[in-house]
Amino acid sequence: MLDVQIMTEADLPMGMRLKADNGWNQTESDWRRYLELQPDGCFVAVLNGESVGTVTTCIFGSVAWIAMMLVDSAHRGKGVGKALMRHALKFLEGQQARTIRLDATALGQPLYEKLGFVAEYSLNRYEGILPAAESVPGVEPLHAGDMDDALELDRVVTKTDRRKLFLRLAKEFPNAFRAVRRDARLEGFLATRPGARALQVGPCLANSTAGLLLLDDARHRFGGSRVYIDVPAGNAAAARWAEQAGLAVQRRLLRMCRGPALDEQVNLLWSSSGPEMG
């Protein structure tokens, strides 16, 4: 018998095992963040009494994200993934989410297409050891008083009000946000967070000048560290920066959407938050 239930803290060891089996970068803190941001929208699949899969959701007004779609490899092909996705979609539709988004791997893409998701654009996950760099003038910490400007820039670029996510990240990692201001105007910001396998660099939203400054500042701050950077295929300058830094494409992801498309300004999106963050 297959059942889908609300995920709780008691399920975290299972979630950590599944993400480790798939080589994903999440930490236990990431799982706890999912549960706290959307406690009624994170689910586990239970097959004959055994927990065998997970999915999380996060709602930002009329826009929602689905993430952490994981199925135990020993139980794939038994309808577990489809049951989790249908349950998540039913939940989100009940919450009046008009646009539902996710980042698909090649493994999950066929299922998502059958459920009505269509492709928006591709992302390339670059991985490698960041080479060291000199300090970058003009890049400073994002102060608390600048957060509203950062949230407005994110809303303009992504067409989503992700306030609850950004405030949570700023609380967890108060030194993680960096910014470029010119003439008292915020031109861009970048955030980082630790991962199980590598430092996740992103989100980074900025104009053409500030984007390069912020990424070079990441090189200065984290030179010698292994990083993941999820770069939209449509941002040629960001891809060029990653390649010149010696990073290589580890995997390709497809951003997909069910419902009205949002038409993000990909030229201002230098690095996504990572598919697990929306």
Domains in the chain (CATH in brackets) are 2-97 (3.40.630.30), 125-271 (3.40.630.90)
Mean pLDDT of 238-247: 98
Q: CA 69, CA 71: separation in Å to the nearest integer?
A: 7
Mean pLDDT of 237-257: 96
Measured distance between the N- and C-terminal CA atoms of the chain, rounded to whole angstroms: 32
pLDDT digits (tens, 9 = 90+) for 114-173: 999 999 999 999 999 999 999 999 999 999 889 999 999 999 999 999 999 999 999 999
- Poorest-pLDDT segment among 63-72, 200-209, 269-278: 269-278
Helix axes 147-158, 163-172, angle to 10 degrees: 130
DSSP annotation string for 209-231:
HHHHHHHHHHHHHHTTSEEEEEE
Tell me the average pLDDT of the chain: 95
**For 82-112, b where at least 16 C-beta lie within 10 A, e where not — what string?**
ebbbebbbebbeeeebebbbbbbeeebbeeb
* Confidence at 275, pLDDT banded by 50, 70, 90: low
Query: Minimal CA–CA distance to 143: which of 180, 106, 94?
Result: 180
Percent of the chain whose pLDDT exceeds 70: 99
Mean pLDDT of 29-33: 95
Residue type, position 168, single letter = R
- What pLDDT shows up at residue 81? 93
The 3 state secondary structure assigned to 202-214 is EEEEECHHHHHHH
* Confidence at 107, pLDDT banded by 50, 70, 90: confident
* Confidence at 274, pLDDT banded by 50, 70, 90: confident
- What pLDDT shows up at residue 49? 93
- What pLDDT shows up at residue 273? 85
The model's pTM is 0.94
- What pLDDT shows up at residue 277? 61
pLDDT digits (tens, 9 = 90+) for 174-230: 899 999 999 889 999 999 999 999 999 999 999 999 999 999 999 999 999 999 999
